[in-house]
Amino acid sequence: MTARLTRFDWYAYLRALRFSLYTMRRPLDGFWDLIHEKRGSMAAAHTILAIAVIVQIMRLVLTNFQFININMEVFSAWWVLGQMVIPIVLFSVANWCLTTLFDGKGKISHIYMGYAYAMVPQIIINAVLVPVSHVITYSEGMIHQMTTHIGTLWFVLLLLCAMKEIHEYSFSKAILTTILSLFAIGVMVFIFIMFFAVVSDGAAYFYSIAQEAVFRIRRG
């Protein structure tokens, strides 16, 4: 068995990255080509996610305090990383689990790519808003707020388009499966939390039994 050692194709990578600007403007066409014409790549999707994390951290830290004010004593970049990465991973898994039951054509990697590409306009808007926040005043905060909302709305619409094209669904079915995958994410989180709670309780139980035994033995 020979490992395929090909040189990393920087040109294709950059082309895939640049394609995100196309999906942003022509989502229906773009997300179809992203998967079926192999115009996107996982490497580009990872990059977009990394940029999203960096932009989010910058947004929280560098935005003028008039609009976003975070107590730096309790701020943690790892927390932001989790906030960005966990949703995309959970969404990919939950959506894939659901859509395989609903005749979805997409693979996990496709969903991951679709989600990542859908984030692009929001990333751009948030990045632009950081310097803008330093030249507008609190009373002009409406601009900041509205633009943020536009970014979020754009992201949601792109995500729906991506789901529609990746799974070859009708638009209503894409909305339905997306909402259902949100519920699935909730269930997964719940099970995770319960699992860890049970495990830690169980561990504590056996630990205390062991301790009790040690004390008894020591006392003789």
Judged by the rule CB under 8 A, the positions of this chain that interact with another protein are: 65-67, 69, 71, 73, 135, 137-141
Q: Judged by CB, which is closer to another protein: 66, or 100? A: 66
- Identify residue 153 by its one-letter amino acid code: L
Give the torsion through C-alpha atoms of 58, 62, 65, 71, to 10 deg.
60
Cβ at position 74, least distance to another protein in Å: 9
Cβ at position 72, least distance to another protein in Å: 10
Q: Judged by CB, which is closer to another protein: 139, or 172? A: 139
**Calpha distance 51→79 (Å, rounded):** 16
Handedness of CA 18, 22, 23, 29 (dihedral sign): negative
Q: Judged by CB, which is closer to another protein: 73, or 201? A: 73
Cβ at position 64, least distance to another protein in Å: 8
Cβ at position 58, least distance to another protein in Å: 19
**Calpha distance 32→47 (Å, rounded):** 20
Alpha carbon 105 to chain centroid, angstroms: 21
Q: Judged by CB, which is closer to another protein: 21, or 136? A: 136
**Calpha distance 28→161 (Å, rounded):** 6
